[in-house]
Amino acid sequence: MPQIESSRGSVWRAPGMAPLLAMSALGFAGFALLLPTAPLWARHIGADEGGAGLVNAVLMLATVLVQTTVPWALRTIGWRLVLSAGMLLLGLPSMLLIFTDELWQVLAVSAVRGAGFAALTVCGASAVAHLVPRSHSGRAVGVYGLSIALPQFLLTPTSAWIAESVDFRVVFVLGCLPALAVPFAIALGARIGRAGGEDEPEDAGPGGGRVFLALALPALVLLAITTPGGAVISFAPQLGFGPFAVIIALFALTGVAAFSRFIAGGLADRYGPHRFIPPLLGTGAVGLGLVAWATIAPADSALVLVAGAMLTGIAYGALQNLTLVISFAAVPIRMRNIASTTWNMGFDTGTGLGSLVVGFIAAGTSFAVGFSVTAAFCAVVGALYRLFPVRGDGERRVVDVERLVVLL
């Protein structure tokens, strides 16, 4: 596949990047609009905190289950059909929420949308590895990260406000935006399909069970930060703060996440990704501790909430980039779709768990306890990552997780 040849080439100009970025932006726009709004709609029609938490948990459960089939689907029916179907399944069901008045109906829509989101996430991340060489992977992941983070930055904080201040139906109609990405999905799929026979030569690398061991620790790191990230996004409108404070906090989280994800790409290419992970997990734990503290007295702690959201956003954005770079570096080229699937399963499992676990903990105790648990999870995973060193292998660096598996 034709890729950037010069070490100084711009990843923005890599063939196929333009449709990838457009498709990803539209797809994640639909995702971001409903991530806080669908649980809020569930509360609006009578569900409790636990029921509201189920909405995004079901979305992510369906996503993770379908993600396991995406590599097979790409081999069987091809990129164009998989991507086009994914965009339609993610976007069009949003309109059905207008007609829902029971929790099970909202959950059913979430499940269908999760199937579409599975195709978008696995194919989008995998396409980055198809379009650029490994030497540019950090920067390419950063650019790809911007295309998915900017819609979340603009829409996640405002969608709940639009729903409550204007009308839920406006958000549900806008949630169909992924369907507009079908032409870009077809163009990207055609690009990858045409160049499929010109791919890089398969390289030697770990195989079989060792590949999955090599992918386990970055997936655990991703799980540790997306669990609280998903919880903050899902429950910020329900924490007892005023609408303005919620919007600013979500802008802080998603905006800082977009910036840190982009910056982390260049740092990963230059210095390697591993050294940044423990301190970033520590930063996330501190931010979540501040969020937990803020929920104890919402009327007097809006600034604490915003500060906690910003610190959480630094870790949330940067660790998404770094763990994806590590995952691609840990496998031979022929298995990059598997690396993308594993990474996305970690991301989406964390987002779903954050909604489910924090929701049910809050229903039984408080949001302060729920966010404190996620902060402790971040800290523990950061400590584990520091305990198990990185093993060098030429330009590729593989995380040594065998000692971790033995320990567990």
What does the pLDDT look like over 58-101, one tens digit per residue?
Answer: 998 899 899 889 989 988 999 999 999 999 999 999 999 999 98
DSSP calls for 243-281: HHHHHHHHHHHHHHHHHHHHHHHHHHHHH-SGGGHHHHH
Q: Where are the domains of the chain?
A: 11-407
Nearest CA among 55, 53, 17, 251 for reference residue 149: 251
Structure tokens at 290: 């501040």
Q: What is the reported pLDDT for 89? A: 97
Q: What predicted TM-score, i.e. pTM, was given to this entire model? A: 0.74
Token readout for 323 is: 């763990």
CA nearest to 110, candidates 2, 21, 200, 234: 234
Decide: helix, strand or coil at residue 69: coil
Q: In 3D, which of 96, 131, 93, 136 has the Cα closest to residue 112?
A: 93
CATH architecture group of domain 11-407: Up-down Bundle (1.20)
- Separation of alpha carbons 398 and 318, rounded Å: 19
Position 331 scores a pLDDT of 76
Which pLDDT does position 9 carry in this prediction? 55
Give CA–CA dist 42/245, Å, rounded: 22
Q: Is 166 exposed, middle or buried (0-12, 13-18, 19+ CB in 10 A)?
A: exposed
The residues of the chain scoring below 50 in pLDDT are 1-8, 197-204, 206, 391-408
